[in-house]
Chain A
Amino acid sequence: MKKLLISLSLLCLLFVSVFAIVYYMAQPRIAFVNTEKLVYEYEGMKEAHEMFQQKVSVWHSNVDTLRNSLENHSRLLEVDFKKLSENEKGKAVTKLRQEEERFVHYARSMSEKEEKEEERMTQSVLNQINSFVKDYGETHGYDLILGTTTSGNILYGGDSQDITQEVLKALNQYYREGGTKAHP
């Protein structure tokens, strides 16, 4: 009788253990990353941003050169204005206004170009990050990886679920050295 009770107890313990393991394995594996930290500490983003700044610097320099040229012409016209005949004054003012319009149009198009280039640069970097995180999740057995945003989509997450550092390290290593995505 005693032996039967012990056997039954062991059997129950075995069933409970197996059930617990199966239950645990069936739970979805969820983690989250701090999206802002991931994006801004990603070496690909830093490099892309640096290159973007170089381009912007050239565009701003061009706009400044045109602005200076326009201001010079305006100053020269002011100096010589009294010496001009009525007809010449009219032509000079018209010419200056046309130059102003061309400058305004150019400055506006450069501003639009800068905006589009920044958007394109950011989207390219996000494509890289999203692609990597997806493969990281698949390789490391995650069912869901959430990204925190400043709008508060995740109000709280425990440290054990925060995989930002691991993903960032793997992402930067992949960017520098290549390899298969989640195994650099």
Chain B
Amino acid sequence: MIYPMLEVIGLVNRFGTQVVHNGLNMEVRADEVFGIVGGSGTGKSVLLRSILGLQRPQAGIIRIDGRDITKMTMSQLYEVKARYGVTFQQGALYSALTVLENVELPMIEHVEMAPEARDELAMLKIRLAGLPADAAKKYPSQLSGGMIKRAALARALALDPKLLFLDEPTSGLDPISASEFDELILYLQKELRLTVVMITHDLDTIFRTCNRVGVIVDHHMEVDTLEGIVNNPNPWIQSYFHGERARARLERHGT
């Protein structure tokens, strides 16, 4: 049986009496860009944390590349973690390390490699993320918001993952930087044949990059293609894609 790149079946997450997910299903196929959308507090981050193995769900199966991570021991999970890259919303760069050291950290952790080779490979990733070479020696506090996002992306690419998770990749960026970042993601997705899963609120990003979209409503997920989801009858999805802010974009993208 061929498994999809990422598969979530019947996920249940509860905190006390508060239900976050109740039987959430999603499936991400290889080489697609999958967008996760949802209102504030609907558990987008909880979903991501469950998929990343940062918290165990009450029930459900999460398969990454066909392997169920909810049943794994810590050491098995460690191996799986080398196969995907993650960028967090605020970048989560290690503030005491330079950008270069940030990118090298996963390599040091997982791969045996000569320091010179590591330096050059890390530089390659930094350039690939569209950062100038002199950014490598800088500390995160010396970077602009856009550069932090790019540095986080370079670190996520450090181990050449097949699967890339992006948490709000364009939040806090100006529209020009945000659309440049969209193009970068598309470029990398095409060149490196990445599977990208992104949480985003940015309608421009959704329309520009995503092949399919999953919307979290009522503790489960509605998954469809971009055209399909826009025409979904659910009132929340309707107001999300047809609200004041969305209408102008829909016209522009001609969807």
State yes or no: do A and B come from one complex: no
Interface positions of A (Cβ within 8 A of B): none
